[in-house]
């Protein structure tokens, strides 16, 4: 079951010959969540062989050009390709007039429905969910309204050990009880769900934090995610510049990851001052060893962590 991040762009305000502006696509079990849509996003989508028409959700962090200038072309192309399914857009309320302008001047070929969900929250809130996944948004600290996103799998139901079904003669109703994580009670006898059932895997999660200056609540909000993307526009020595522009340094991004106890940290949104940011890695890993540099074109798979008791069953009875 896919949980794969396609990194389309890692530049900050100015694109370079090696870096496109911010854009990503997360494939969750075949459902595509696009996050930000900088200039050139269509070209990067084609290079990554991502189907425009399969993008169901588009998350826009804020209304700055390097995160938005690709939106008109993408919406138009979806129309020219004959899109008929709904496109859900999650964006600050300041995106409404941008979308209205597009529809008024360029929307003639857009026959599909655009469902705009305006973000307005002070802490993480679920803005979309289905049976297996949920999308949350939360405020970041930047110039103007800016939001981060968490995309995570829901906790799966328990699986019941085949051996337990035979040993206890479990009925269909009792199997259902165990799948819900409840104990089976037979008069004075109790069959604990912790003995007869197991979680098949741990849910995976991805958090996107760009653009933002550090703030105390962030580590709590992204606590324990499988993969954290955090901007690191500047190296540690440029902390004053980062503070002035409401951005983060390598050290600050790594500190969030360490405090949050995430599995892996991925950084991007690099300043164009640096043709190479390889030196960022030493700064990051001095604080959080599981740190990595995002590069345009990267495909990063987040594997399932399989429950340790899946393969064998041991009964205490």
CA atoms within 13 A on the CB side of 226: 19
Catalytic residue among 36, 66, 211, 296: 66
Q: How far is CA 89 from CA 6, 17, 274, in A?
A: 19, 29, 33
Closest CA to 32 of 63, 53, 46: 53
Find the farthest-apart pair of alpha carbons in the chain and give their distance in angstroms, rounded.
72
Q: In the chain, what are the helix, strand and coil shares in percent, each to the nearest 5?
A: 25, 30, 40
What contacts 2, CB < 8 A, 6 or more positions away?
Answer: 27, 28, 29, 30, 301
**Is 66 a catalytic site residue?**
yes
21 DSSP 8-state letter? B
CA distance 59 to 136: 10
Q: What are the residue numbers of the active site?
A: 66
């Amino acid at each position: 079951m896919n949980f794969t991040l396609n990194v389309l762009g890692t530049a900050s305000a100015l694109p370079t010959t090696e870096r496109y502006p911010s854009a990503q696509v997360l494939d969750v079990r075949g459902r595509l969540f696009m996050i930000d849509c900088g200039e050139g996003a269509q070209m990067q989508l084609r290079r990554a062989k991502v189907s425009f028409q399969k993008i169901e959700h588009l998350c826009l962090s804020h209304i700055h050009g390097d995160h938005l200038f690709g939106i008109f072309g993408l919406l138009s192309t979806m129309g020219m390709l004959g899109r008929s399914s709904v496109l859900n857009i999650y964006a600050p309320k300041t995106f409404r007039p941008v979308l209205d302008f597009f529809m008024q001047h360029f929307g003639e070929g857009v026959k599909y429905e655009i469902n705009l969900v305006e973000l307005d929250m002070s802490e993480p809130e679920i803005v979309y969910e289905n049976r297996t996944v949920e999308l949350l948004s939360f405020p970041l600290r930047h110039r103007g309204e800016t939001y981060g996103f968490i995309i995570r799998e829901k906790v799966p139901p328990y699986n019941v050990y085949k051996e337990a079904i035979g040993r206890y003669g479990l009925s269909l109703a009792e199997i259902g009880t165990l799948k819900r994580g409840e104990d089976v009670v037979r008069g004075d006898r109790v069959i604990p769900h912790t003995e007869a059932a197991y979680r098949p895997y741990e849910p995976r999660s991805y958090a996107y934090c760009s653009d933002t200056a550090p703030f105390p609540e962030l580590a709590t909000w992204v606590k324990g995610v499988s993969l954290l993307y955090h901007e690191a526009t500047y190296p540690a020595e440029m902390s004053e510049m980062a503070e002035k522009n409401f951005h983060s340094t390598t050290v600050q991004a790594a500190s969030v990851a360490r405090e949050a106890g995430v599995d892996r940290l991925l950084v991007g949104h690099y300043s164009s001052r640096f043709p190479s940011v390889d030196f960022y890695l030493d700064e990051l890993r001095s604080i959080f060893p599981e740190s990595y540099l995002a590069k345009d074109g990267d495909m990063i798979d987040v594997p399932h962590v399989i429950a340790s008791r899946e393969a064998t069953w041991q009964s205490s009875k």
